[in-house]
Chains A and B, each alone.
Chain A
Amino acid sequence: MPFKGLTSVSEGRHQALAADPAALELDGIVRRFGRRWVLRGISLRLEPGAVLALTGRNGSGKTTLLRLVTTAIRPTRGTGRVFGQDLVRDAAGVRDAVGILAHHAGLYEDLTAAENLSFALRMYGRRAEHHVIRAGLEEVGLGGEHDERVRGFSAGMRRRLALARILLRPPRLLLLDEPYASFDVDGIQLVNRFAARIASEGGAVVIATHELARGRGLIDRVVRIEDGRLVDRDTQREIAAEQDTAWGRLQAVEGGA
């Protein structure tokens, strides 16, 4: 059965010339840090509307791949496009389309929650309107922490604030790096609802996670990075296998499945 919005790695190469641009298209991406080859040839095509889970052991290159897609780092070799825009040549256009909930929240500790969002709005080229900031904080359950400095926030609160920052300007391609870590049940469901909304509105989502069951009902396809290359996995079996444990069942409940 074909998976919604996603073609296989080999098919992807042949369909690269298709008229409609893919949400994400990677072709032979290689990245090395010094002598260490982290990615050894990643090829992938992700259509609009798709939600892809990226798995792999610690240090396999999941975060490196996401950082490449955000243009934070450049590939050593290979090409990539986000909604038709080249990762290297049209980096500014790619940044316009991509949003990431990264492992580190990337917040300013000595600013308040509201000031962090105010800064983000202005960096997006918009006015820092009070009602927009308040609504953003309310949406992630931080309405009461409007004037609190981030330095005193827990890890979960920081991630909620980072999510609020993305909500200010929903991206077309959403990248989530270990999105379920540090979140409580409400937080996990919040992330899943947001990801589902992006996908339903013609965007696409890539989730780097070890907790597949928490994304059950959301994830269309699972791929795994092994030895720097992508390997397609049987999505339903992968999620079912994880869910077949007591821990997995708990994750599925928390994920809202």
Chain B
Amino acid sequence: MIGVEARRVAAIAWKDATAERRTKANFNAVVFLAALILLLFGFALGPEVEALQQAAGGVIWLTVLFAGVLSFNRSYEQELENGALDMLLLYPGDRRSIFVGKLLANLAFVLLVEMILLPTAAFLYDLPIARFVLPLGAVIALGTIGFVTLGTFYAAMASRLRAREVLLPLLLFPMLIPLLVAAVEATSAVLAGDAMGDAGAWMRLLVAFDVVFLVASFLAFEYVIEG
């Protein structure tokens, strides 16, 4: 039975990834937006390298949030074309497979965007990311898991609504505040060399958020995806 559900999860993730790979419309738009946000924050913060480095943790995560929301909307948009969502819900088996499949596809997408975003941020903000690849990678991964989990869940909830593009950030961003604070603090601590040893505590908090968001979204998905 688990094998069958795993096959469904893989099918959903494969389908989303293939459609995205074919069009690249969403990926190009998201990467361009992310680069633009980094650049605009750079101008807003001024030319002081120290000020840029201090703000970098916050700027990186806000960029991920704004860029990510675009990809979550797109994830369900293709289901709404030609009534595909109704057909998707008609397949036998556990509907939570749809959530897990979309979560994996969105996770891969956002991580890919971050792989372009981080070196760009390092270049623009003079960040020493090469020295902290492992701890920084762990913080980014933990923050991204929680963010994408909630994003995938709320995008499903908003998918049936008429003004979903506007409603998704309105629903999602307030719920992300605790995760955002933890992710920004952990990122800033790592980039500053973690002299006070704060990063570990923030990362443990991120793990707790991830677990809570994953379990709650998984259990509630079936109720929010129905029309």
Contact = CB atoms under 8 A, between A and B. Distances in A.
Interface in B159-179: none
Interface string A92-111: 10011011101111111111
Interface string B9-33: 0111011001100110000000000
Contacts of A105: 82-83
| Most chain B beta carbons < 10 A, residue from A102, A123, A158 | A123
Nearest to A105: B82
B40 interface: no
B90 A72 contact: yes
Interface in B66-105: 78, 81-94
B47 interface: no
Interface in A105-131: 105-111, 115, 119-120, 122-125, 127
Contact of B92 (A92, A110, A122): A92
B46 interface: no
Interface residues of B, number: 29
B103 to A, nearest CB: 17
A70 interface: yes
Contacts of A111: 15, 18-19, 22
| Most chain B beta carbons < 10 A, residue from A70, A73, A124, A125 | A125
B4 interface: yes
A252 to B, nearest CB: 30
Given A96-B92, A110-B23, A111-B18, A102 B83 contact: yes
B8 A123 contact: yes
A155 to B, nearest CB: 10
B89 A122 contact: no
The number of chain A residues touching the other chain, given as a range, is 20 to 34
A74 interface: yes
Interface in B25-58: none
| Most chain A beta carbons < 10 A, residue from B4, B14, B15, B85 | B15
Given A107-B82, A122-B8, A95 B15 contact: no
A102 B93 contact: no
Given A72-B89, A92-B93, A98-B90, A110 B83 contact: no
A102 B19 contact: no
Interface in A214-233: none
Contacts of B85: 106
10 contacts: A71-B89, A103-B83, A108-B19, A110-B22, A110-B23, A111-B19, A115-B18, A119-B15, A122-B10, A127-B7
Interface of B: 4, 7-8, 10-12, 14-15, 18-19, 22-23, 78, 81-94, 226-227
Interface of A: 67, 70-74, 92, 95-96, 98-100, 102-111, 115, 119-120, 122-125, 127, 149, 158
